[in-house]
A = this chain, B = another copy of it.
Amino acid sequence: MKKLSFGIDIGGINTAFGLVDQDGEIFAEGTIKTADFPRYDDYAPYIETLVGAMKKLLETLKFKYELVGVGIGAPNASFHSGCIEKPANLWKYQPNNVGLNEEDRIFNIVEDLRAHFPEAKYIAVTNDANAATIGEMIFGNAQGMRDFIMITLGTGLGSGFVANGEMIYGHDGFAGEFGHICVERGGRECGCGRKGCLETYVSATGIKRTAFELMSSTNTPSELRGVSFSEFDALLISKAAQKGDALALEIFRYTGEVLGRAFADITTITSPEAIILFGGLAKAGELIFEPTKRYMEENMMFPFRNKVKLLPSGIQDKNTAVIGASALVWQMYNA
């Protein structure tokens, strides 16, 4: 009987889910709109809608299967507690929720799904970046590695940290937040309320900020100067750089410098076999890999020099988030 796991990727706009087997193949998939359920009071109907869609998906299967588990990747999720805790963009308080405390905005999604899928032995949640990390370990370029770092360059910078063959969640379940290492004291304002965090420089948002900083501080001509901040997209920089646009190339060099320096520090702490880059910005290939590698080695402490591999994700173009979330289940199943 085919063993399957649900992988669920909860984003601010959409929730994607799929039925994945032990080889990382997706047999069926679906989505619901997370954005249709924005308020605190919407959480219960959201779960109801999600569960309904999942059950319908199971009904489409034309073969016998065993549902081994449900793995969930979500922002602000704690593997230890099984909860999504105070998410910035999900199920927020509205003016009529007077008297409610932000401390109570904790959603026990593992318990809530268990009630609907009692047959699934393994139900677990982790943050989306950790899910992608486990996906890389089970199905991607980190297969067989016991110590590696996964960096997801999306709107922000997500990350996951594996040591001794295990995900490092830390005491609170939130370890591995490399995006919020301070790389520039008093630097760019970060959504986390502090300044100078790595993700304000290295992410789709960060590289866009770098573009506008360099347009203001230099006179380098560039086709990018014709685009407004609101219309600007990180992809434009890759396209311009590929055509040899000097400003765009400098933007990538600078981004690689900041990231490479951070990787040198991260290596002194974690001594990984590899650092794996994933996400939109990583698709820029050598434009981002070359300067990152160069500055990483230049700033690397001697015992680690020329030892740490910098690799692209091995599951880059598939539905990684869903596969990664399912891998959370397969990891527990195989353990």
Contact = CB atoms under 8 A, between A and B. Distances in A.
Interface in A72-94: 76, 85-86
A269 B181 contact: yes
Contact of A265 (B171, B175, B182): B182
Contacts of A192: 301-302
Nearest to A298: B194
Contacts of A261: 182, 185
Contact of A271 (B76, B172, B185, B304): B172
A247 to B, nearest CB: 24
A180 interface: yes
Nearest to A78: B303
Contacts of A161: 269
A299 interface: yes
Interface in A255-298: 261, 264-266, 268-273
Main secondary structure of the interface of A (DSSP, over half): loop
Contact of A163 (B85, B170, B308): B170
A232 interface: no
A135 interface: no
A169 interface: yes
Nearest to A271: B170
Interface in A142-191: 146-148, 161, 163-164, 166, 168-178, 180-182, 185
Contacts of A175: 147, 163, 269-271
A304 B172 contact: yes
A193 interface: yes
Contacts of A264: 182
A307 interface: yes
Contact of A303 (B146, B174, B185, B303): B174
Nearest to A163: B168
Interface residues of A, number: 45
A164 B167 CA distance: 9
A265 B183 CA distance: 10
Contact of A168 (B76, B164, B169, B308): B164
Nearest to A149: B269
A171 B194 contact: no
Nearest to A181: B265
- 9 smallest beta-carbon distances between A and B, as pairs: A170-B271, A175-B271, A171-B273, A177-B268, A147-B171, A163-B168, A180-B268, A180-B301, A181-B265
5 contacts: A85-B303, A161-B269, A163-B168, A170-B270, A182-B265
Interface of A: 76, 85-86, 146-148, 161, 163-164, 166, 168-178, 180-182, 185, 192-194, 261, 264-266, 268-273, 299, 301-304, 307-308
Given A170-B270, A171-B307, 17 more contacts: A76-B303, A86-B303, A147-B170, A163-B164, A163-B168, A170-B271, A170-B272, A171-B271, A171-B308, A172-B271, A172-B307, A177-B271, A178-B268, A180-B268, A180-B301, A266-B269, A269-B269
